[in-house]
Amino acid sequence: MSKFWSPAIRSLVPYTPGEQPKVLNLIKLNTNENPYPPAPAVTNAIREFDTSRLRLYPDPDASILKQGLAEYHKIDKSQVFVGNGSDEVLALAFMAFFRHGKPLSMPETTYSFYEVYCDLLNIEARKIPLNANFEINLDDYTSENTGIIFANPNAPTGIAIGLDEIETLLKRNTETLVLVDEAYVDFGARSAISLINQYPNLLVSHTFSKSRSLAGMRVGCAFGHPELIAGLERVKNSFNSYPLDMLAIATATESLKDETYFQATCQRIKSTRDHASSALVDLGFNVLPSAANFIFASHPKYDAKELMQYLRDKNILVRHFTRAGIDQFLRITIGTDVEMSELINALKARID
C-alpha cells in the first residue's frame, strides 16, 4: 500500500487469470485455450507482413477488421466494435453503459472479471443465484438495474440458454443495456447477434481467443446498435486510441476468411468434449451439459481441490475455483483427443 495510490484502488481485488506456467511438457487444460493452431492464413499474414510499416501507427479504427466482421456476421460496420481482447471490450462497455447509479444484475456464478470491473468502476454488483441445475434463469432478472450482464454459454458452468429466453428478457428490460458475453458461443450455443437489429438494448461480445485460436494476439469485439458502438468508441478514444496493433488487426482479419478450418476446428473440439464428458460420467463424475470448450465436473466421492492437485502432480493442469457453491467442481478445458485420454487415464488410476 502506498500513499500515492488513489483511495479507490486500495481495496481492489484484481482478477486472477489461470496459471501460464513457464515449464514445458504440461497438459494445459486450465485456461480454455484452443488445442489447435490458428488458421494457416494467420501464419501467412505474419510471415508476409511488411515490418517496415511498424514505424507507423495502426489504423485507430481497425477498419479492415471491422469490415471483415461486418461481412462475416452480415451486419453493418457501424454495428461493430473491436478491442484488445474481450476483457478490454467488456471493461470499456462497463464504463460506457453500466454507470447509471443502480446495481448491475449478473449471475452469482459467472466470469469472475465482471465483479472486478464493478469494483474498479464503483458499480454495485447484484448477484442472482443460478437455479438448482446451475442454469441461469432470466426470469429472475426483474429488479431495477443499471444493466444486465451474463455469459452465454455461461462460465465456468458451460451451460447455454436459448435465444427465446434472451429475447423475452430484451422485451422486458428495455431501459438499460443487456450485455451477452459470447466468448464460448462457437462451441455450441446460438448467437444473439441475430437480434441486434431488433433490440437497441442488446450488446453482444465475442473473442478471437477461443474458437479462433488467437489468445496470443488479444482481439475481442462487440456487436450492437450503432449508438451503442458510438458509446464504446467515445470511451475507447478517451482511454487508448490504438489498442490493436497492426499484426493483431492483420491476423484477426485473416482468421475470418477460412470458414472451413474454423468449422472443422470447432467440430473437433465439440466431438472431443462429448467423448470426454461420457468418459467422466463413466468414472462417476457429475458433468454439467457443456456448450463450451470446457467441461465443469464434480465427483461425489473425491474432493475437487485434491483432484486438481493430484492432476497437477501428473503434469495435467485444470482449474479449480474456491468460491462457495462451485468449490467441488473442476473446470477442464477441452484439449486434443490424446490430451483428454491422458486426463481420463490419470483420473482412472486415482478413482478406481
Q: Restricting to residues 43-62, which ones interact with a copy of itself according to CB under 8 A?
A: 43, 46-47, 49, 51-60
Binds a copy of itself by CB under 8 A, chosen from 79, 201, 253, 333: 201
Binds a copy of itself by CB under 8 A, chosen from 163, 215, 283, 351: 215
Binds a copy of itself by CB under 8 A, chosen from 85, 107, 156, 188: 85
Q: Which of residues 232-271 bind a copy of itself (CB under 8 A)?
A: 233-248, 251
Q: Which of residues 95-134 bind a copy of itself (CB under 8 A)?
A: 95-100, 116-117, 119-120
Name the percent of the chain in helix, strand, coil, to the closest 5: 40, 15, 45
Does the footprint of a copy of itself cover residue 172 (CB under 8 A)?
no
Does the footprint of a copy of itself cover residue 346 (CB under 8 A)?
no
CB of 149 to a copy of itself, least distance (A): 13
Q: Which of residues 131-160 bind a copy of itself (CB under 8 A)?
A: none
Does the footprint of a copy of itself cover residue 310 (CB under 8 A)?
no
Grid cell locating 335: 484439449
Q: Where are the alpha helices (DSSP H) in 223-298?
A: 226-236, 246-255, 259-282
CB of 132 to a copy of itself, least distance (A): 32
Grid cell locating 257: 476468411
Q: Among 208, 194, 225, which residue's Cα sits nearest to residue 62?
A: 208
Q: What is the CA radius of gyration of the chain?
A: 20
Does the footprint of a copy of itself cover residue 182 (CB under 8 A)?
no
- CB environment 28-50: b (16+ within 10 A), e (fewer): bbbbbbbbeebbebbeebeeeee
Residue 95 or 304 having the CB closest to a copy of itself: 95
Does the footprint of a copy of itself cover residue 37 (CB under 8 A)?
yes
CA distances from 351 to 133, 283, 306 (A): 25, 7, 12
CB of 173 to a copy of itself, least distance (A): 11
Residue 85 or 103 having the CB closest to a copy of itself: 85
Does the footprint of a copy of itself cover residue 175 (CB under 8 A)?
yes
Does the footprint of a copy of itself cover residue 218 (CB under 8 A)?
yes
Question: Could you tell me how many residues of this chain bind a copy of itself (CB under 8 A)?
Answer: 88
Dump the DSSP string for 14-49.
---PPP--SSSS-EEESS---SSPPPHHHHHHHHT-
Pairing of strands 329-333, 294-298: antiparallel
Residue 47 or 301 having the CB closest to a copy of itself: 47
DSSP label at 103?
P
Contact 313, 293 (CB under 8 A): no
CB of 326 to a copy of itself, least distance (A): 21
Does the footprint of a copy of itself cover residue 35 (CB under 8 A)?
yes
